[in-house]
Chains A and B, each alone.
Chain A
Amino acid sequence: MKYQIRLSGDEIRLMQEVKARSGVDLAKCYQCGECTAGCPMTPEMDAGPTKTLRLIQLGMEEALFDLNTPWLCASCETCTARCPNDIDIALVMDVVRQMARLKGKKIPVKEPRIFQDVFLKSVENNGRLFEPGMIAFYNLRSGDLFHDVGLGPKMLLKGKLPLLPHTSKNREKLREIFRKAEALEKEAGKKASEEAHDESGH
């Protein structure tokens, strides 16, 4: 990341967009670091949650989407639970991932994104998660063909992996929710950026 930024008054738009999507007001964040302090994934992260929030406050969009931090978030919500200002930080991480995807940003760490896609695809296809299929598909997509391959046969032996997917009659209803949600998030994106635009007085 570059260590010089120029602020022009537009920086508030990113914070407004995050607020429009999540309802979270990051003006409340006073950068105390408690989220970073409690986060289990910090050893792997490049910035940690505190700095991620700071980049949003300063409208540093490019730097934000370069971070691996949101993609390494394990969704344990320790940050949310301990935040002295009751900011739902885990939700902000979700929203940053969502925004990156909708804006077509390059994802700095691909595995969690692939896992997310493969997992949800499996759910969408079957209505329920089919674990062996999902893992196999994940390995194909990530190129790590033999990932956890040692565990598979053992689990099969233990009778812990079913061989065929379960399906549900509500699969269609589920797909409908998926489709609608996808349409809504795109619409919300347009609205959010327009609103942010208006509010910042342009």
Chain B
Amino acid sequence: MSKIGVFVCHCGENISRTVDCARVAKASGQIRGVAVAKDYKYMCSDPGQALIKNAIKEHKLDGVVVSACSPHMHEKTFRKAVTEAGLNQFLCEMANIREHCSWVHEKEEPTTRKAIELVRLMVEKVKRNMALEPIRVDVTKRALVIGGGVAGIQAALDIADGGHEVILVEKDPSVGGHMAQLSETFPTLDCSQCILTPKMVDVGSHPNIKLYTYSEVEKIEGFVGNFKVTIKKKARSVDIDKCTGCGECQLKCPSKKIPSEFDRGLKNRTAIYIPFPQAVPARPVIDREHCIYFTKGKCKACQKVCPTEAVDFEQTDEYVEEEVGGIVVATGFDLYTTDKQGPYPDYKGYGEYGYGEDPDIIDGLQFERLASASGPTGGAIQRPSDGKEPKSVVFLQCIGSRHPSKGIEFCSKICCMYTAKHTMLYKHKVHHGTAYVFYMDIRAPGKGYDEFVRRAIEEDGAVYLRGRVSRIYRSGDHLIVKGADTLSGAAVEIEADMVVLATAVMPQPGIEGLFQKLGISYDQYKFASEAHPKLRPVECATAGIFLAGACQGPKDIPESVAQASAAASKALILFSRDQMLREPVVAKVNENTCIACWYCVEICPFTAISKKDIRDRQGNLIKRVAEVNPSLCTGCGTCAATCFSNSIDLDGFTDEQIYSEINSLMAVGQDLFPEPEKAEGDSPDEKAA
């Protein structure tokens, strides 16, 4: 007969507010096989853990059920505690009576009953748990960093400086990301490129970093410590080893009217192009969609002019495989657009602002390019329609963001700050102009941030209006902006020369494709989800994959950099060991009953099952059976549920365990739910009666 200990946590009042914890403990004590059942205010605290450890020793427990929060929260804590008391950690399970019970139900009888049943379910499972040992696997001490913006650059440099090899994959022809597009950065107004380009150069020249630009992750196999990554190097049509980056080809290219991605459509580029002068690598790429040779079959002007014969029209996409132990995802963000059919088809555009068709209504990144010394106007603020200097500019915050009827509820976090910065950049260049800002709330809780916003208002004279804008329309030379100032209660109409929309920060369009390949989860907006919002903010639920920067949610530069270093340190921790332990949740085959139908081999998503010959001493084949490679098996259990002869089981989630859980739910006859008063006189001896 089992000797199980049940430990019911009050979690302060988080559980006890709606669940009668004392009753849960009392009822648990009456379940067969339970040797001891106790409740305590904070089971995860030191005294709480001590209580468990003492009980294990005192009652010689062979299983523990901690009835508290979600196992995702504290399973590790309690498994560690029972190990310290000499119990195998896999003999400890958690009954989730907080997230799945006390927090989601009212204070009523069925809630406490549910808590008791959840305990009983786990008790029945633990009775059938087996002492297991974690699986040891070798760690490949190389990292993959996906995304070459400031977060990816920082993570790559930190890991590389820590002495490990890094594979950095960037989808665009150059690293740099959005930060390279910015003019100046808040709250210090230092030049973005001045602080970023040295890091870009470091990434390009670091001996530990292998840089794949114009490349994408095609496939990922394996698991923490042992990932196998297939990278697609898109055909650049230029041999970057031969090319010297002289730029002759760009000058001669006849196809010159392609909107530049880097300048966000405010300037044109050629079909063979280096995205911007500071690009790393400073090597061109041919945009095959627009190249005259690729579309019409004639031209080759670039090839003729190239002094090193680097242009290669025959180049094809190339696939390379890399083995890594950990992955940092730093795929960044893009901006929501107000277009009717933008890159985010799930979200409505802004018809009331003309669906982004008016050239003088631009977004924040376009304004950055206008204000940038390296931008299309050389840093002069000129409106796109006619190049005139705008005398009044209206900045609109919360476009897309905090706008549930357009499908987005979150705050984009960075717009309050960059809009204040924009008003300053504008006023520093157009002294007699007026900058108006429509805002809903000012969110500037960073170091020196609120002071910065006040400076925009007090020193640079930006006019802040608290309200949203209902419509923007063109009237001759001007844009009419119809907004409101709720502080005065007035409707406000402004004749503007240019309007700048602080549009929502969104994940890269289509990024969920990559997240699916990585097997990591993401939220409704397709921002990657962290393992725990507070305590594991840079890890994914999938071990060995870490998050950095705005792919996880809107972030400014300091935050992205900090998170990138945090992700790098997580990777370095992973690489600090030669071997790592994995949960022993793996499938095992009963060779006596296996009928060699090979359905498991076919269905296993990880090719962890192979065919094994069983031979007698003479080497004659007796039979063939399935065999699981435990270092490849991830424990999904598909094989166990599929096996025709029921010969595969999954450690930790065996058929026996699951059936006992099901049985326990429906067990009756045992009055586990006496009213508290009625139960007063019960003694443990009566329980089997």
Chain A residues in the interface with B (C-beta under 8 A): 30-39, 42-43, 47-48, 50-51, 78, 82-86
Residues in A with CB closer than 8 Å to B482 are 37-38
Contacting pair A36 B484 (CB below 8 A) = yes
Contacting pair A84 B485 (CB below 8 A) = no
Contacting pair B468 A37 (CB below 8 A) = yes
At the interface with chain A, which of B196-204, B299-307, B400-408, B663-671? Answer: B400-408
A47 to B488, CA, bound (A): 10
User: Closest residue to B350 on the A side, CB-wise?
Assistant: A82
A37 to B467, CA, bound (A): 8
| In the complex, per-residue mask of B451-472: 1 if CB is within 8 Å of any chain A CB, else 0 | 0000000000000001111110
A37 to B486, CA, bound (A): 9
Question: B544 an interface residue at 8 Å Cβ cutoff?
Answer: no
Identify 25 residue pairs between A and B in the complex whose beta-carbon atoms are under 8 Å apart, listed by A's number: A30-B402, A33-B466, A33-B467, A33-B468, A33-B485, A34-B484, A36-B467, A37-B469, A37-B470, A37-B471, A37-B484, A37-B491, A38-B352, A38-B470, A38-B482, A42-B490, A48-B484, A48-B489, A50-B486, A51-B489, A82-B470, A83-B405, A84-B403, A84-B405, A84-B406
A51 to B236, CA, bound (A): 58
Contacting pair A34 B467 (CB below 8 A) = yes
Contacting pair A85 B484 (CB below 8 A) = no
Pick the 6 closest A-B CB pairs, nearest first.
A38-B470, A33-B467, A33-B484, A37-B470, A37-B484, A34-B468
Min CB–CB distance B411 → chain A (angstroms): 11
Min CB–CB distance A117 → chain B (angstroms): 29
Q: Is the interface of B mostly helix, strand, loop or mixed?
A: strand
A85 to B468, CA, bound (A): 12
User: Closest residue to B441 on the A side, CB-wise?
Assistant: A30
Per the 8 Å Cβ criterion, residues 393-418 of B in contact with A are: 398, 402-406
Residues in A with CB closer than 8 Å to B491 are 36-37, 39, 42-43, 48
Q: A33-B485, A34-B484 are in contact. List 18 more A-B contacts (CB 8 A).
A: A31-B486, A32-B467, A32-B486, A33-B466, A33-B484, A34-B467, A34-B468, A37-B470, A38-B482, A43-B491, A47-B489, A50-B467, A82-B352, A82-B470, A84-B402, A84-B406, A85-B405, A86-B404
Interface centre among B405, B468, B485 (most CB of A within 10 A): B468
Min CB–CB distance B564 → chain A (angstroms): 33
Contacting pair A85 B404 (CB below 8 A) = yes
Contacting pair B404 A33 (CB below 8 A) = no
Asked, given contacts A84-B402, A86-B404, whether A33 binds B352 with beta carbons under 8 Å apart, the answer is no
Question: B440 an interface residue at 8 Å Cβ cutoff?
Answer: yes
User: Closest residue to A28 on the B side, CB-wise?
Assistant: B404
Asked, given contacts A84-B406, A86-B405, whether A37 binds B440 with beta carbons under 8 Å apart, the answer is no
Question: B483 an interface residue at 8 Å Cβ cutoff?
Answer: yes
A32 to B469, CA, bound (A): 9
Q: Is the interface of A mostly helix, strand, loop or mixed?
A: helix
Min CB–CB distance A178 → chain B (angstroms): 34
User: Closest residue to A51 on the B side, CB-wise?
Assistant: B489
Residues in B with CB closer than 8 Å to A43 are 491
Min CB–CB distance A165 → chain B (angstroms): 40
Residues in A with CB closer than 8 Å to B490 are 36, 42, 48
Per the 8 Å Cβ criterion, residues 107-160 of B in contact with A are: none
Question: B492 an interface residue at 8 Å Cβ cutoff?
Answer: yes
Min CB–CB distance A84 → chain B (angstroms): 4
Contacting pair B404 A50 (CB below 8 A) = no
User: Closest residue to A42 on the B side, CB-wise?
Assistant: B491
Min CB–CB distance A81 → chain B (angstroms): 8
Residues in B with CB closer than 8 Å to A33 are 466-468, 483-486
Residues in B with CB closer than 8 Å to A42 are 490-491
Per the 8 Å Cβ criterion, residues 485-507 of B in contact with A are: 485-486, 489-492
User: Closest residue to B469 on the A side, CB-wise?
Assistant: A37
Min CB–CB distance A3 → chain B (angstroms): 13
Min CB–CB distance A201 → chain B (angstroms): 17
Residues in A with CB closer than 8 Å to B471 are 37-38, 82
Min CB–CB distance A200 → chain B (angstroms): 20
Residues in A with CB closer than 8 Å to B470 are 34-35, 37-38, 78, 82
User: Closest residue to A46 on the B side, CB-wise?
Assistant: B489
A83 to B402, CA, bound (A): 11
Residues in B with CB closer than 8 Å to A82 are 352, 470-471
A39 to B493, CA, bound (A): 12
Residues in A with CB closer than 8 Å to B486 are 31-33, 36, 50-51
| In the complex, per-residue mask of B324-359: 1 if CB is within 8 Å of any chain A CB, else 0 | 000000000000000000000000000010000000
A38 to B469, CA, bound (A): 8
A42 to B482, CA, bound (A): 12
A12 to B484, CA, bound (A): 26
Min CB–CB distance B409 → chain A (angstroms): 10
Contacting pair B489 A37 (CB below 8 A) = no
User: Closest residue to A87 on the B side, CB-wise?
Assistant: B405
Min CB–CB distance B495 → chain A (angstroms): 15
Residues in B with CB closer than 8 Å to A83 are 405
